Amino acid sequence: MSGLTRGSAPAEETHTDPPPTATARRAPVDLPPPFGDNNIEREPLWYEFGAGVDEPAVPPWTRVPEPPMTAHVAPPPPGCISGGERRELPRRTAELLDVAPYPHGRAPGLPFEEALDRALVSSFGVQWSDPEHVYDPHRGYASPRCLYPVQVFVDDGAQWRLLEPERHALTRLTRGSHRGDRRRIALTGRYTRIPRGYKWFRGSLVNLELGITLRSLALGLELFGITGQLVLPGEGSAALLDELGLAPDWEWSLPLVVELSPQGPAERAEQAPEFAGTPAAGPPHDPALRDLVRVNRTQAFGDRPAPIPPSVPPHPAEPSDPLSWAELMWRRNSGRMPRGMLGMSGRRAPASAASVADAVRWLGTPPPGASLRAVSELVRFTAVLQDTEGYRDGIHRVRPGGTVPVSGDPTAAARLEAEYGYGLSPEAGCDIRNASAIWFMSVKPRDLFARLGPDGWSAAQYFCGWALHGLCLSSTAHAMFARPVRAFNEIPTQRILGLEEDEMIALAVVAGTPRHAPHALLDIRV
């Protein structure tokens, strides 16, 4: 995927994949059993299968009852900021981005310290509040149930601070022990911000959001002219959790670190008292969390620090509907529902050929580093399109240079809706049947392990998150919502898409025209 080029093949291109019935081979006897037949329940089985376990056993904790999702209470802010001095971030970043045209515009040159602060605001700041929305407020990137488990820590070379977007501030850490004199940004996920009902899948949700936030950060740095290098988890990553004073450390994932270009020596601050974190074994009362932490701690990437490449792909022309970067971030949404209802809404509407070509460009933007680029070559993108200019309704594969049709199936979107776990109900909307595009990312777990060992599992999720954020921005630029989902019944969905039976669905995105216009969005940008 890292070698994709611009452009899109029209639907009538003669080179096509065989029909789905021909591509699906007979299932090997060692595939994960169809337990539950959805990704959340099969996730730990796919991991064991990728690691070489034939017919992996269902973990005993999989069917242990958990509190309902609605009973979840988010944990308090991490104790490492208790009593910490708070510094407000600069105001009016949105005004600077409002004069930067999408996609080629950039913010005016600023001193490094101010540019970094504004890059953080553009990457992670709150955007709007919707009084009718169940999950509120909203930022410029997608997060499961707006829980935002990934936390952002910023090192100025002398001390660490936690970014608190709702407070529009950076708060100094009062626990831990700062080490080194580098300017760094650490992204780490807090598993306990996600309801226990997600069980082992909490690890995947955090990894996917780490990829999303990595690209959002890369975009913010790019817009304000800051360069950096990515350091994937490996030697020293667990020690960084201790340096940050995060306890208990089993609540937290190993961090992704972006090292910023040096800008002169930082003034030394008084050191916070040292704090020794607890071992990352996980709580005894939550065996699913204990196991996902075990998997997280196997990461041992040996990559050298890798330059963050451009997050924005080359665009051949200005968009027909000019907008600014501030407006693009403001418009991004996951399909609004009115009156506090759950789910997503959309209406059947024509889509342009340019929307597909643009999506392919964003999906093909290379991630940073050798490992993520290697794993990007193993992720397959499939698009279910309908009412799109120049494309047959049906299933298409993303290929270098665009897409090729697989099956001219006008019922594919409706069939996929029937296999979605959160269907239409009096409390929730579900308009997958009306989507302009449904994008799927799939991968063969054994290929991941063969290429990168256990690191391949996390690397694939980081990359899928990276690709997802680009797809969300691309859809927004074409006046469409983009909703990330993982709730499809996997086996029937494999058959509809013509995937192979040892191919796991890693992520999907539903994109389409909103049905419900916002009534009273409150601009809460500072």
| Same domain as 91, residue 240 | yes
Domain contains 3: no
pLDDT for the residue 380: 98
Give domain status of residue 83, yes or no.
yes
Report yes or no: 172 and 159 within 8 Å, Cβ to Cβ. yes
Q: Is 14 a member of any domain?
A: no
Q: What values do phi and psi take at 292, rounded to 5?
A: -70, -30
**Domain match, 295 and 356 both:** no
pLDDT in tens, 318-354: 766 789 999 999 999 988 888 888 888 889 999 999 9
Residues 55 and 91 in one domain: no
Q: How far does Cα 170 stand from its chain's mean position?
A: 23
Residue 516 is predicted with a pLDDT of 79
My answer on whether 120 and 238 are in the same domain is yes
User: 522 forms bridges with which residues in the sheet?
Assistant: 129
Tell whether 50 and 110 lie within a shared domain: no
Whether residue 426 is found in the same domain as residue 476? yes
Are residue 56 and residue 142 in the same domain, yes or no? no
What pLDDT score does 27 carry? 46
What pLDDT shows up at residue 65?
Answer: 87
My answer on whether 398 and 344 are in the same domain is yes
Domain match, 106 and 57 both: no
CATH no. for residue 394?
Answer: 3.40.109.10
Give the pair of three-digit tokens for residue 462.
Answer: 């980081």
Identify the burial level of 28 via C-beta atoms within 10 angstroms of its C-beta, where 0-12 means exposed, 13-18 middle and 19 or more buried.
exposed
In this predicted structure, what is the pLDDT of residue 11?
31
For residue 141, the number of C-alpha atoms closer than 13 Å in the C-beta half-sphere is 31
Q: Show the domain range for 488.
A: 35-65+333-512
Q: Look at residue 84 and tell me if it is in a domain.
A: yes
Residue 520 is predicted with a pLDDT of 79
Q: Minimal CA–CA distance to 499: which of 354, 417, 384, 388?
A: 384
DSSP string spanning 411-429?
THHHHHHHTBSS--BTTEE
Q: In this structure, are 202 and 149 located in the same domain?
A: yes
Q: What global pTM score does this model have?
A: 0.92
Residue 5 lies in a domain: no
Q: How far is CA 274 from the centre of its chain?
A: 33
Within this chain, do residues 378 and 507 fall inside the same structural domain, yes or no? yes
Same domain, 287 and 390: no
Residue 481 lies in a domain: yes
Which residues of the chain fall short of a pLDDT of 70? 1-30, 34-39, 262-282, 319-320
Q: Are 410 and 386 in contact (CB under 8 A)?
A: yes
For residue 215, is it within any domain? yes
Domain count, the chain: 2
Question: Which residues contact residue 470 at a Cβ distance below 8 angstroms, ignoring those fewer than 6 apart?
Answer: 215, 311, 313, 362, 363, 365
Extract the runs of DSSP E, i.e. beta strands, from 232-377: 256-260, 306-307, 342-343
pLDDT at 256: 98
Kindly state whether residue 352 falls inside one of the protein's structural domains.
yes
